[in-house]
Amino acid sequence: MDASQPRAGQEFRRQFVEFAIRTGVLRFGEFRTKAGRLSPYFFNAGLFHDGASLGELSRYYAQAALASGIAFDLIFGPAYKGITLAAATAVALAQLGHNVPFSYNRKEAKDHGEGGNIVGAPLAGRVLIIDDVISAGTSVRESEAMIRAAGAVPAGVLIALDRQERGQGELSAAQEVSRNHGIPVTAIATLDDVLATLRGRADSNDRIAAIEAYRRQYGA
């Protein structure tokens, strides 16, 4: 099969990239990353901030969760960005015929009412952590600790975009999290999908060249 063509059932990955470009969530230019690198693109999931875009985003998360092959019984969203993502993805999964519970954490434990720092369904079974991106992996580390403390099992992590660039060492940030925590990390789309999408657009030669040069320098 032509490597430039998406695998059967995986078309949603490039559709997601097109969606991110259309909504201005994925932008091109010069952007300074947290690591101090000058990146030719920037992905800001916080710009999915209206009902229509969140609804469409949640459908991509649901498709990616089902396509990942990760078996899960519950969705967990780390505060704060993960809260909305977990709730919306649970709705989208239910619409696809997969009704699963979800929960999320408070930043500070509540000492009245039901108490505790977990809101929603009790943490139990195999838990899929949903977040926007992975940078230092702090959110995953904290989520894993809460899940294991409840006697549940972290099944994997699902993020929106995997930049596929080196983290602290030769591995990418996603690969480091997978290695350090012993759980799979998957994404709706990767940098490979971004490049494949751009190659199908007539006006993207300069963007492709800049991203490929950046990847040669920082790619995992």
Residues forming the active site = 110, 112
SS3 185: strand
- Bridge partners of 118, per DSSP, are 105
- Bridge partners of 74, per DSSP, are 127
Residue type, position 160, single letter: A
Using CA atoms, how far apart are residues 214 and 191, in angstroms rounded to an integer? Answer: 11
**What does the block give as tokens for 43?**
């992905």
**What does the block give as tokens for 46?**
């916080």
Using CA atoms, how far apart are residues 62 and 66, in angstroms rounded to an integer? Answer: 6
The set of long-range contacts for 176-182, using a CB threshold of 8 Å and a minimum separation of 24, is 176/137, 177/134, 177/137, 177/140, 180/137, 180/141, 181/140, 181/141, 181/144, 181/154
- Bridge partners of 41, per DSSP, are 28
Beta carbons within 10 angstroms of residue 75's beta carbon: 27
Using CA atoms, how far apart are residues 158 and 10, in angstroms rounded to an integer? Answer: 16
SS3 211: helix
